[in-house]
Amino acid sequence: MLKRAGADGIELMTQLLGPNGSLLNLDGAVLAGSPDAFEQQPGTEVVLDGVLLGVIHASDPTLCLALLRSLAKLDGERRAVTEDALERYRELSLLYTLGAKMAGSDDPDRTASTALAEASRLIGTDEAVVLIGPDSEDLAPAAQKGSGFQSGASSNDLSQFAREIVEAERSDVIERIGADHPLSTSGVTTLVFCPFEVTGPVGFVGLLLLGRQSDPYRSVDLKLLGAVASQAGPALASAFAARAARTAALAREQALEQQIEQLRVELDSHGQQERVREITSSDYFQSLRGRAESLRNIIDDTPQR
């Protein structure tokens, strides 16, 4: 701690110790002051947060102890800032990784399956489901793990429970569900859930619901599930938009193919008419027509027997 304070901190401590004072660590090494002071001055233990750190040998250790407490507080604040920065970095890294894994698909079901797989990997689950729908009354499974949430009498209970969560926009952890809980027949004993929105043209709502049979979920699990949900919403919105664009493009392509086929038929018909006109207007055809007319006249003038 004193070393992290640098040369200025050591110099200030040396001044407070005086010419006959010293600060020793638990190994007896002199950190500041006179190497021989501990033989001349009584020792005062340095205890911070219940931990013995060393001994001060000085006629008045009060200011020295105050400096050490200030340095300890500053050191703690620095560690807290560092840990907070590292935590934020981890969160950003996690969000980036999740977003990259869920992005780029035009299949909402595949995107939902990826979100569920990532949630299961990060948190651990025996039963899980991703529900998506235009509103809380019409939620349907887009991906699931296990069958406990969907089997038997729990299916209707799941719909009711999911509707209440989405309408309340409530993310939470239930460390231990009771016998009267709507999902008590699903086989799980603990739940964590997080609703989300699928913004954009579709305007859907969704819910990530995980459960397991042991090891209750904690607040850190809810935080991780929230990270997955925050990326699942935009990824699903992109998937729905991409699917709509692909469907529209396919419809335009089919309409264009029909127009081309109709044009081909019209061109073929027009071409046949042109060939007929070319044939009937040719000298050879006119000669044949004249001969046919002459032959018809001869036949008509021949006396009948």
Same domain, 46 and 173: no
Please identify which residue in the block is written with the tokens 């233990």: 45
Residues 115 and 79 reside in one and the same domain = no
Inform me whether the pLDDT recorded for 154 exceeds 80: no
**For residue 269, is it within any domain?**
no
Q: Which residues contact 212 (CB under 8 A, 6 or more apart)?
A: 124, 125, 126, 127, 188, 189, 190
Counting the structural domains of the chain, the total is: 2
Computed over every residue of the chain, the mean pLDDT equals 81
Does pLDDT of 131 surpass 50?
A: yes
In this structure, the answer to whether residues 131 and 224 fall within a common structural domain is: yes
Q: Clarify whether residues 119 and 232 are in a common domain.
A: yes
Lookup result for tokens 């429970």: 161
Task: With cut-offs at 50, 70 and 90, classify the pLDDT of residue 305.
Answer: very low
Q: Are 181 and 136 in contact (CB under 8 A)?
A: no
Q: Mind listing the pLDDT tens digit for each residue in 100-121?
A: 888 878 889 999 999 999 999 8
Q: Is the pLDDT of residue 84 over 70?
A: no
Residue 293 lies in a domain: no
Residue 14 lies in a domain: yes
Check: pTM over 0.75? Answer yes or no. Answer: no
Instruction: Check residue 28 and report its DSSP letter.
Output: -
Q: Do 225 and 121 fall into the same domain?
A: yes
Does a structural domain hold residue 291?
Answer: no
Q: Which of 208, 224, 247 is the last residue of a domain?
A: 247
pLDDT of 303 > 70? The answer is no
The span from the CA of 145 to the CA of 161, in Å, is 18
Kindly tell me if the per-residue pLDDT of 302 is higher than 60.
Answer: no
Nearest to 56 by CA among 90, 20, 100: 20
Q: Do 107 and 240 fall within a single domain? A: yes
Helix (H, G, I), strand (E, B) or coil at 156: helix
Reported as a pLDDT band with limits 50, 70 and 90, residue 37 is low
Quote the CA–CA distance of 249 and 237 in Å, as a whole number: 18
| Residues 194 and 167 occupy one common structural domain | yes
Tell which wins on pLDDT, 83 or 105. 105
What pLDDT is attached to residue 39? 64
**Which pLDDT score, from 0 to 100, does residue 12 have?**
81
Residue 27 has pLDDT above 90, yes or no: no
Domain of 55, in residue numbers = 6-86
User: Are 75 and 107 within one domain?
Assistant: no
**301 belongs to a structural domain:** no
Q: At 272, is the pLDDT very low, low, confident or very high (cuts 50, 70, 90)?
A: confident
Q: Is residue 276 situated within a structural domain? A: no
Range of weakest confidence among 25-39, 65-79, 94-108, 172-186: 25-39
Same domain, 82 and 127: no
Q: How much is the pLDDT for 176?
A: 92
Q: What's the pLDDT at 222?
A: 92
- Both 142 and 237 in one domain: the answer is yes
Supply the CATH number for residue 197's domain.
3.30.450.40
Q: Is 113 found in the same domain as 29? A: no
